[in-house]
Amino acid sequence: MSLYKKLTKSRILNRVLVERLTEPVHLNLLSVFVGIFGGIKSRIKYDLVFRQHNAYGLDFACREAVKNNIKSFTAIEFGVASGAGLTNMHHLAKRLEKAYGVNIHLIGFDSGEGLPQPSDYRDHPDIYHKGDYPMAYQPLRDHLPKNVKIVLGDVRETVIPELKHITKESPIGYIAFDLDYYSSTKSALEILKAEQPEKFLPLFSIYLDDICSYYHHDYAGVYLAVKEFNEEMKYRKISKFRFLDIHRIFKNAQWLKQMRFVHIMDHPQRMNGFPA
């Protein structure tokens, strides 16, 4: 989709008007210069890429990988659907690989059949329904390069087997969760329970897509799945970085409130020599 068509979609146009044009004028003017002459790192700093959450998450992982002398990491999307998000991650990864000298492996998880039947009220049947967000697998598979892996099937059955293929040579460094349901998100979060902490960067970001509606609340959906994960895990925690907006040039963007950070506190680099 062209830049013009993206911007003229009412939802995106409204977001641009509300988020971007309420920022200081001089920063918006400066961003024009960055948009014309800046490289990928500068464009990410100025939120001049689509799906800024993916750009930020991948960029943060690149910086953490370089800091920890890691040459490769894995980025994951749960809930591929049409493939727009995974395709976006692929395009961003190609540019960031060149900028940082780090390899980025991409994996997408999807049932291939749209959303399943909601289990109960925790899956927000008031918002989501069976069959929503179907995938056209073959056109997407043909469009993406072979090194972008798509894992089809019920996430309850695919996460643990796929986790066995994640290695410390290419640890998980970014995850986008877009599964809508409590039950599916809870199953996807099992990927963060790998016994070997080296399968993850010591610190990395995740994006939670389905938390923005008036109907979302702490007792169902993604919020509940994350809460239960934190209650179950002693050394792995999902936490909000409350000063993320302070570290950004543009501070009104919705995606900033959807980012969380995963702390792998049993990782050797965070244990300071003490056993877990």
Does 213 have pLDDT greater than 80? Answer: yes
Does 7 have pLDDT greater than 50? Answer: no
Q: Write the single-letter amino acid at 220.
A: A
- pLDDT confidence bin for 20, thresholds 50/70/90: confident
- Domain chopping of the chain, boundaries: 50-271
5 burial class (0-12, 13-18, 19+ CB within 10 angstroms)? exposed
More confident site: 43 or 146 = 43
Taking the complete model, does pTM exceed 0.85, yes or no?
yes
Q: Are strands 200-208 and 172-177 parallel, antiparallel or unpaired?
A: parallel
Among left, alpha and beta (phi > 0; psi -120 to 50; other), residue 261 is beta
- Superfamily of domain 50-271 in the CATH hierarchy: Vaccinia Virus protein VP39 (3.40.50.150)
d(CA 253, CA 247): 13
d(CA 274, CA 60): 27
The tokens for 33 are 């210069």
d(CA 170, CA 68): 12
Which pLDDT score, from 0 to 100, does residue 274 have? 55
Q: For residue range 150-197, list pLDDT tens digits in order.
A: 999 999 999 999 999 999 999 999 999 999 999 999 999 999 999 999
Instruction: Report the first-to-last Cα separation within the chain, whole angstroms.
Output: 48
Q: For residue range 115-148, list pLDDT tens digits in order.
A: 999 999 999 999 999 999 999 999 999 999 988 9
